[in-house]
């Protein structure tokens, strides 16, 4: 995603010490009951967008980047925290979802945008961590960790066929091993663009730019690619006015392997706010995305107490994670009606 947006998200959460402490106390006291935890996805079986896991995943903190494991027992996400972006997770155990914890490989450097491999044994993410432990911080690269018997292994940089001196963000991997990501680099079509690299004999080929049927002269970024590569969902500023500051668009792959012109995902998903970071569960049932939409008070907060307590609520102009039934995807597919 554009680095300026990431920086703004980071700086907007650096607030006073007592607010941090009080906020954490509020968060702990609002943890859902066991019964609520068992039904994280039940309410998403409708055509309406709802906030995901309120007061467990989605809180007054700025959360983004949904990543549900293929077996649906682990959920990873990013918090653009008070110091640096951090990857956190919850897991389903003992018939309930656990409280959020920082991932074992995160919490020191700026880590964002987790994404499971289709088999669930690898987790990709973007990070500015140094290439050598104790070295200088780098620009954002794509990294991964592999599952061990009881946790994750050490982070591995994915390599120079993907990573460059520019920033690489938002990895998405298909069943064939093809990696998609976004970057702003020389040779692109405009601003930030979408790239891919195929996995051949265990190594990634040279990066390829998606065609101008997907990329535009403006910005396209944070793309989720269907594991079968049937469609790609991303945020764009180049395919029309849209509904707000950034909308989700979708492009479908044709039988000849070209892509359809991007389609705005519509007002069920997009608002006047900023929608980004899409993800579809591995069973194809749920579409997750991030939005900074807000439930505004009847009047603009004016007093210190109003500002203070508004900041402790959900939908407080910081980002949260949302979910909707993924049936909306096929309803938008123009190939279903073209014969």
Interatomic CA distance for residues 307 and 320, integer angstroms: 18
Q: In sequence order, what are the residues at sequence separation of 6 or more whose Cβ sits closer than 8 angstroms to the Cβ of residue 194?
A: 180, 181, 182, 209, 210, 214, 215, 220, 221, 223, 232, 234
Q: Whole-model pTM?
A: 0.88
Q: What integer pLDDT is reported at residue 29 of this predicted model?
A: 45
User: Are 110 and 140 contacting, i.e. CB atoms less than 8 angstroms apart?
Assistant: yes
**Domains of the chain by range and CATH?**
3-337 (2.120.10.30)
Q: What integer pLDDT is reported at residue 300 of this predicted model?
A: 64
68-122 confidence digits (pLDDT tens): 999 999 999 999 976 799 999 999 988 889 999 999 999 999 999 999 999 999 9
**DSSP string of 56-119?**
TTBSSS-EEEEEE-TTSSEEEEEEE-SSSEEEEEEEEETTEEPPPEE-TT-SSS-EEEEEE-TT
Q: Is 53 helix (H, G, I), strand (E, B) or coil?
A: coil
- Distances from the Cα of 53 to the Cα of 69, 104, 130, angstroms: 16, 22, 33
Q: What integer pLDDT is reported at residue 334 of this predicted model?
A: 93
Q: What integer pLDDT is reported at residue 192 of this predicted model?
A: 97
Q: What integer pLDDT is reported at residue 213 of this predicted model?
A: 95
Q: What integer pLDDT is reported at residue 297 of this predicted model?
A: 55
Average pLDDT by consecutive 10-residue portion of the chain (339 residues)? 54 41 45 52 83 94 96 96 89 91 96 97 98 92 96 97 96 98 93 97 96 96 98 95 94 96 96 97 96 74 83 90 95 81
Q: What integer pLDDT is reported at residue 2 of this predicted model?
A: 62
């Amino acid at each position: 995603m554009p680095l300026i947006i990431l920086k703004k998200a980071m700086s907007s959460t650096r607030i006073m010490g007592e607010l941090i402490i009080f906020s954490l106390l509020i968060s702990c006291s609002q943890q859902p009951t066991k019964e609520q935890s068992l039904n994280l996805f039940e309410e998403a079986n409708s055509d309406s967008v709802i906030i995901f896991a309120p007061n467990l995943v989605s809180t007054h903190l700025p959360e983004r980047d949904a990543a549900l494991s293929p077996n649906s027992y682990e959920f990873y996400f990013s918090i653009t925290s008070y110091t640096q972006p951090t990857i956190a997770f919850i897991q389903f155990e003992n018939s309930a979802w656990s409280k959020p914890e920082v991932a074992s490989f995160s919490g020191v450097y700026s880590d964002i945008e987790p994404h499971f491999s289709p088999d669930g044994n690898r987790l990709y993410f973007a990070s500015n961590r140094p290439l050598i432990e104790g070295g200088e911080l780098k620009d954002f690269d794509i990294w991964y960790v592999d599952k061990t018997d009881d946790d994750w292994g050490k982070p591995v940089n994915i390599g120079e066929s993907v990573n460059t001196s520019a920033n690489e963000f938002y990895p998405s991997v298909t069943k064939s091993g093809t990696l998609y990501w976004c970057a702003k680099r020389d040779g692109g079509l405009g601003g930030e663009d979408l790239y891919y690299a195929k996995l051949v004999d265990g190594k990634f080929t040279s990066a390829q730019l998606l065609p101008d049927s997907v990329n535009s002269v403006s910005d396209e970024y944070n793309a989720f690619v269907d594991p079968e590569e049937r469609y790609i969902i991303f945020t764009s500023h180049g395919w029309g006015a849209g509904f707000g500051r950034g909308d989700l668009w979708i492009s479908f792959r044709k039988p000849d392997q070209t892509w359809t012109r991007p389609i705005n995902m519509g007002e069920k998903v997009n608002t006047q706010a900023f929608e980004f970071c899409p993800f579809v569960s591995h069973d194809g049932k749920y579409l997750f995305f991030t939005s900074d939409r807000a439930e505004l008070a009847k009047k603009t907060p004016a007093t210190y107490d109003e500002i203070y307590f508004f900041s402790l609520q959900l939908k407080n102009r910081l980002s949260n994670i949302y979910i909707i039934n993924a049936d909306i995807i096929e309803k938008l597919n123009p190939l279903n009606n073209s014969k």
